[in-house]
Amino acid sequence: MSRTLNPNELSDALASVAGRIRRSLAVVHNGRRGAGAGVVWRSDGLIVTNNHVIAHGKPRVTLDDGREYPARILAQDTEIDLALLHIEAKDLPAAPIADSRGLRVGQMVMAIGHPWGQRACLTTGIVSGLSQVETRGQRGSAPVIRSDVRLAPGNSGGPLINASGGVVGINTMIVGGDISLAIPSQLVEGFVQQALGELSGAPA
């Protein structure tokens, strides 16, 4: 029989989750207009962020341990606001990726990023909706995760994580000032796999 956590145990558990995911959080500098967040998606130097974060400059990436690298843009998708970067670094602490298809409305989620330049700030909320939004491109629409976590400039490109610390989405924008959107991890992983396939010359 499962045991209910008391408030102190729950608080400690969330702090532990935040500490683990922070190691996989990067600062993505665009070279011109500031910075956003990024997620170490693979240990061999692959970083996922929002396309709008790196759209106007030559990106550089600062890791949680302070190391800074120039980043090469491997792929961009303006329709779903994703970009895949690569830095010349190995054995990075890749974020654990959870399957966003398991999300349910009402579940707790957390966002971590760099709002207004403050490093690795965490906000919590619940999933308020799982829906589709219209996009300008071939897809025509894309799935999104709606939540009530608070976001601000600097959160873009950072992870939305579940209570276990798994990345379920990439935060992308604020709608109406109080509803936050994230790109589901399932869609992000598909974007990464397609990009790597195209780079390797594999058939689509």
Catalytic residue among 24, 29, 77, 81: 81
Catalytic residue among 52, 77, 100, 180: 52
Q: Which of 24, 100, 147, 156 is catalytic?
A: 156
Q: Which residues of the chain have pLDDT under 70?
A: 1-5, 33, 174-178, 202-204
Q: Does domain 19-94 have CATH number 1.20.1250.20?
A: no
| CA distances, 140 to each of 5, 82, 131, 136, 192 (Å) | 44, 16, 14, 6, 20
Alpha helices, DSSP H, located in 69-200: 185-200
91: left (phi over 0), alpha (psi -120 to 50) or beta: left
The region that residue 140 occupies, defined by phi over 0 for left and psi between -120 and 50 for alpha, beta otherwise, is: left
Residues in Cβ contact with 200 at an 8 Å cutoff, skipping those fewer than 6 apart: none
* 21-48 pLDDT per residue, tens: 999 999 999 877 678 999 999 999 999 9
Q: Indicate the DSSP class of residue 104.
A: -
Give yes or no: 81 in active site. yes
Beta strands in 50-107 (DSSP E): 60-62, 68-70, 72-77, 82-86
Greatest extent of the chain over all pairs of C-alpha atoms, in Å: 55
User: CB–CB of 148/128 below 8 Å?
Assistant: yes
DSSP 100: G
For domain 100-191, give the fold: Thrombin, subunit H (2.40.10)
Per-residue model confidence (pLDDT) at position 204: 46
Distances from the Cα of 130 to the Cαs of 104, 161, 199, in angstroms? 8, 15, 32
Residue-range domain boundaries for the chain: 19-94, 100-191
Per-residue pLDDT at 175: 61
Can you read off the two tokens belonging to residue 108? Answer: 């707790």
